[in-house]
Amino acid sequence: MKKLTLISLISALTCSSLVHAGGMGEQSGLCCTAFVALEGGYSTASFDNYNFDLVGAPGSISSIKKNQNYAGRLGAGGLAMMDEQFGVTAELGWGYYGKVTLDPNNLDFGELTIQRTLTGFDALLGVAFVQPSYSLFFKAGALMQNMTTTTTATDNFAIVADTISIKTNQTAALPEIKLGGSYNFDNNWGITAAYMLAYGSSSRTHGTFNVNTGETTLYINNVNPTTNTFLLGIQYTV
């Protein structure tokens, strides 16, 4: 009789635990979730026109900046809830952040075109405020920004025009923040909006040429630039 009573009590406690465990799982459905997001938008980078002042001769050598500002990014990550409203979120992503072309402005003796393209991988960690139909987040981390530079120079003074083309790649780790939110229109699907800032430098090339003495001063800053990116996207949550 005692054995039957003990078995009955253990069975009751076990069933009760399973019921409560199931209830917790339903209440914290976002406890451990993963997501994939595809984003697109607008990005600007801190590139300045090149400018060379001529001493002893009229005019200057300068460029016109042409921006290709569209951006795209693929990201994946996860969310772990700390309580019913706040969670910790992490994300990895790869993105394309636009292209800038510096074309010569009224350069009679030749051509000097500089084209820079930005891509990169990033890793972010942050916090999220989660509600049934929407969520807000703030993340910080680093962007491994890759800047591809193609420089083409042509000398029109030669009998046959001389052309030199140089292509270089350089990568830098830039501090990055991302803040935004998502609206969930389905159990698994949501629309996202975000702002990303990768903090770098301002790329510029300035110089002075004295045509009488041949004296030249040149300042070149090719450090990876700051980017400001605005993104809209769609997110699938598992």
Buried b (16+ CB within 10 A) or exposed e, 50-61: bebeeeeeeeeb
pLDDT of residue 26: 35
Q: Is pLDDT above 90 for 9?
A: no
pLDDT of residue 213: 82
β strands within the chain, DSSP E: 32-45, 51-55, 60-68, 70-81, 86-105, 110-130, 134-155, 162-184, 189-198, 204-210, 216-221, 227-237
Query: Quick check: 177 and 229 in contact, CB under 8 A?
Result: no
Q: For 54-71, what is the mean pLDDT? A: 85
pLDDT of residue 192: 97
pLDDT of residue 202: 87
pLDDT of residue 50: 85
Mean pLDDT of the chain: 84
pLDDT of residue 130: 93
Residues belonging to the chain: 238
pLDDT tens-place string over residues 12-48: 333 333 333 333 333 344 478 999 999 999 999 999 8
Q: Which residue has the higher pLDDT, 5 or 111?
A: 111
The residues pairing with 111 across neighbouring beta strands, listed in sequence order, are 154
Q: Is pLDDT above 50 for 1?
A: no
Give the least confident one: 68-82, 100-114, 151-165.
151-165
Query: In sequence order, which ranges of the chain are alpha helices (DSSP H)?
Result: 2-27
- List the one residue out of 93, 91, 74 whose CA is nearest residue 233: 74
**CA 97/CA 120 separation, integer angstroms:** 8
- Confidence grade of residue 217 (pLDDT, cut at 50, 70, 90): confident
pLDDT of residue 15: 36
pLDDT tens-place string over residues 82-119: 998 999 999 999 999 999 999 888 766 678 899 999 99
Q: Is pLDDT above 70 for 194?
A: yes
- Confidence grade of residue 159 (pLDDT, cut at 50, 70, 90): low
